Structure formats: structure tokens, C-alpha cells
């Protein structure tokens, strides 16, 4: 085959982190970035500046030399983009029929029910009365969610009374995003499992990881999930494969899970590389970014095994430090792998991550968290 060209819609850190893997494989990565300052703009081999809502920009992304495939680094892909891909005869992976289950939480919950996979109790809510009925039936609390457009906990709200939901109900009634409500799961912890699937059918699953969220944002990921019962790990991996196959996902799929006593409940799906898989860059034989490229190009998938007993990834959210370059001088742990996304620092924004591998789980965790704190603001608590 000729050296492939992969087109990516979206210029954030996920597209940026595909670039080193593409370079290693001799793949040209052409990215549709929102602006010249986008995270991926400094890393991709070719960039097209524009939004996915701009048909002209998408035309340029799909233009000569024609890419072998187009993929996404976020779910907010207008339907027209798929039409343009079809017209240009560029395969879109994952395709529209798969991606809608990652775009819309109502569609996702309904499909998981059909597949008899474990959902929390849930329903679509359109009125205050719908919310009241659900709260009555579920111990007076629930988790209200916008079906579309949420990320990092935006679009998710724990509610205890109808009044807590009223503004969102009103905005949904006025044409805003549809809403669903879920029972609040009293989980022990949050897990995630990732699988890659190629169009010809092969799947490869990574070890199940534990993810710690703070204020709705992923903070640390430990691979593998410490002390996870082997039956649950197997169940999670099997569930990921079932979902990938049933939804005809191509590329990387992340399944976020809640662990409750001896069981798993699905939280949500992402059909792209995901924060819960960043550990794999430094901790697995094949990173999620390399594997995503392999999967969407229908190339043989790489080995997903971890090459250390423990890998911990700690996110760096924007803090005091404005120029993260200084952090490269200050992080003294030679085993800490620092990844910076080339983004402007704003409080709470994901601007980088640090990964540490090691033989002892607690020590590896401590080192990763310490190094991430130094990157953020010199190590201040």
C-alpha cells in the first residue's frame, strides 16, 4: 500500500497525540483544527484550519491527495460531514451509525438496554413532573444529564428536587438539548476499559483501568485497576467487545464503568482515544493512539499488554503556572514522562499529563501525582 493519509476532525490533544504514532508508522496525519493555535496544529503533518460545520473546510480536509480514512477526536460531528465523506469516497471511521451512540446518551442508554448490558435505572425527562416521578421512585435523588454536548462533567448535575432541574427542563423545552435522568449509582469506584476494532472484525482490549474523577474531571488513571476481581475484569473486557461488535465501532472505543458490589454498570461510551487510555503511551506495548490509527486503516492491531506491573497517569489541569516550559526544568523524577499539550493555561483546563511506571502501585501513584503537581504549579498543594 502507499503510505496512508489519515484525516482527523478536531484539533485538541487527542489529535495531537496521534501525531507521534503516525510519524513512527510513516502515516501522514492531516488534521482539521479550529485555529492555528489548536493543540494539534503544532504536531500534525498537515493542517486545515476550520470548523467541522464549515463544508468548505471539510472539503479541503478530504481533498487531494485523498485521505485513506477520516476519523474524529471528538463526538461533535455534524451529519453533513458524513455526507461529504461519502461523496468524496473517503471511509468515515467510526461511521455515523456507530458514533451516534457516543454522541447521544439517550440513544446509548436505549441501545445498552436492548443489548441487555447493565445500565443504571434511567428515563428521558421532558417536564418537571417527569423529574418528580423519577426522584420519588429513586430515593429522592438522581443524576440529570443533557443527552448531547456534555464533557468533563459539564452537562451532568446531581439533583435532589425538581427545582434543581427546572432551568434545564425549561431550556430543553425551548429547543435545547434533550435530557435524561439516571439513578445515582453508589459506586465503589470508576473503571474504564478500552478496545480497538478494525473494520474486518479483529478486536484488541487493553487491561481494565481505575479512573479517579475530581469535580467531574478525570484526575488519575491506574493500570491495571488495583485489586479488581478477575471475573469483573473479564466481564468488562467481554462487555467492551460486545459493544464494539454490536455497534459496529471501528477505531478505539472507551467504556466508562461504575464498580458496585461485585458488579459493573455502564456510565458512558467514547469512540476515539480517551483520557482513560493515555497511560498506554508509556505503559503498553501499543498506545491507544497508534492502535486507533491501525484500527481505522484496517491494519493488524498491536499488542495491548502493559509492559510494567503498574502504570499511573496523572492529569495536569491548569493552575498557577502559566508557562509550563519551566516545569520541564523542575520535574526531577527521571522516570516521570511529561506530556504537554501546547494549550493556553486556564484554571481547570486539561493542559498535560504525567505517566510513571513501576513495580509498586502506591509508590508509582505517588510519583505520578507529585510530578503532575510540579508541572501544574511547582508542587504547591
Site residues, ligand ADP (CB under 6 A):
120, 143, 145, 150-156, 182, 184-185, 190, 213, 216, 256, 267-268
Q: Is the Cβ of residue 90 or residue 249 nearer to ligand ADP in the bound state?
A: 249
Q: Is the Cβ of residue 184 or residue 349 nearer to ligand ADP in the bound state?
A: 184
Measure CA 45 to chain center.
23
Strand partners, 251: 197
CA–CA dist 70, 161 (Å, integer): 44
Question: Minimum distance between the CB of residue 4 and ligand ADP, rounded to whole angstroms?
Answer: 31
Question: Minimum distance between the CB of residue 158 and ligand ADP, rounded to whole angstroms?
Answer: 7
Cβ partners under 8 Å of residue 247, min gap 6: 97, 98, 101, 111, 253
Q: Is the Cβ of residue 57 or residue 218 nearer to ligand ADP in the bound state?
A: 218
Give the other-Cβ count within 10 Å of 2's Cβ: 6
Question: Minimum distance between the CB of residue 72 and ligand ADP, rounded to whole angstroms?
Answer: 16
| Whether the Cβ atoms of residue 149 and residue 168 lie closer than 8 Å to each other | no
Q: Dig out the grid coordinates for 357 from the structure.
A: 511506571
Q: Is the Cβ of residue 164 or residue 298 nearer to ligand ADP in the bound state?
A: 164
CA–CA dist 348, 151 (Å, integer): 13
CA–CA dist 362, 365 (Å, integer): 5
Question: Minimum distance between the CB of residue 253 and ligand ADP, rounded to whole angstroms?
Answer: 15
Q: Is 376 helix (H, G, I), strand (E, B) or coil?
A: helix
Q: Is the Cβ of residue 143 or residue 255 nearer to ligand ADP in the bound state?
A: 143
Question: Minimum distance between the CB of residue 138 and ligand ADP, rounded to whole angstroms?
Answer: 10
Amino acid at each position: 500500500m502507499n503510505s496512508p493519509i489519515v484525516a482527523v476532525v478536531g484539533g485538541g490533544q487527542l489529535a495531537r497525540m496521534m501525531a507521534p504514532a503516525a510519524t513512527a508508522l510513516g502515516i501522514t496525519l492531516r488534521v482539521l483544527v479550529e485555529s492555528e493555535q489548536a493543540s494539534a496544529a503544532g504536531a500534525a503533518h498537515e493542517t486545515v484550519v476550520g470548523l467541522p460545520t464549515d463544508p468548505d473546510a471539510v472539503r479541503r480536509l478530504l481533498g487531494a491527495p485523498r485521505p485513506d480514512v477520516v476519523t474524529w477526536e471528538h463526538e461533535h460531528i455534524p451529519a453533513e460531514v458524513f455526507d461529504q465523506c461519502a461523496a468524496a469516497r473517503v471511509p468515515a471511521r467510526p461511521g455515523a451509525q456507530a458514533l451516534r451512540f457516543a454522541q447521544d446518551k439517550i440513544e446509548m442508554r436505549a441501545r445498552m438496554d436492548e443489548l441487555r448490558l447493565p445500565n443504571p435505572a434511567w428515563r428521558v425527562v421532558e417536564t418537571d413532573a417527569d423529574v418528580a416521578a423519577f426522584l420519588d421512585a429513586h430515593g429522592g435523588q438522581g443524576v440529570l444529564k443533557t443527552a448531547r454536548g456534555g464533557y468533563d462533567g459539564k452537562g451532568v448535575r446531581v439533583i435532589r428536587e425538581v427545582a434543581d432541574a427546572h432551568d434545564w427542563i425549561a431550556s430543553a423545552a425551548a429547543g435545547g438539548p434533550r435530557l435524561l435522568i439516571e439513578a445515582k449509582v453508589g459506586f465503589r469506584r470508576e473503571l474504564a476499559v478500552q478496545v480497538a476494532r478494525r473494520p474486518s472484525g479483529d478486536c484488541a482490549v487493553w487491561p481494565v483501568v481505575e479512573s479517579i474523577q475530581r469535580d467531574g474531571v478525570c484526575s488519575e488513571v491506574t493500570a491495571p485497576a488495583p485489586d479488581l476481581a478477575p471475573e469483573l475484569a473479564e466481564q468488562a473486557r467481554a462487555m467492551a467487545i460486545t459493544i464494539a461488535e454490536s455497534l459496529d465501532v471501528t477505531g478505539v472505543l472507551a467504556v466508562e464503568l461504575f464498580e458496585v458490589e461485585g458488579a459493573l454498570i455502564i456510565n458512558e461510551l467514547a469512540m476515539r482515544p480517551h483520557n482513560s487510555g493515555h497511560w498506554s503511551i508509556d505503559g503498553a506495548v501499543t498506545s491507544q493512539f497508534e492502535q486507533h490509527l491501525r484500527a481505522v486503516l484496517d491494519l493488524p492491531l498491536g499488542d495491548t499488554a502493559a509492559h510494567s506491573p503498574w502504570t499511573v497517569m496523572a492529569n495536569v489541569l491548569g493552575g498557577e503556572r502559566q508557562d509550563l516550559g519551566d516545569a520541564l526544568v523542575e520535574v526531577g523524577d527521571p522516570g516521570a514522562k511529561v506530556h504537554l499539550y501546547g494549550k493556553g493555561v486556564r484554571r481547570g483546563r486539561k493542559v498535560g499529563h504525567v505517566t510513571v511506571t513501576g513495580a509498586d502501585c502506591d509508590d508509582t501513584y505517588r510519583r505520578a501525582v507529585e510530578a503532575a503537581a510540579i508541572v501544574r504549579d511547582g508542587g504547591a498543594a
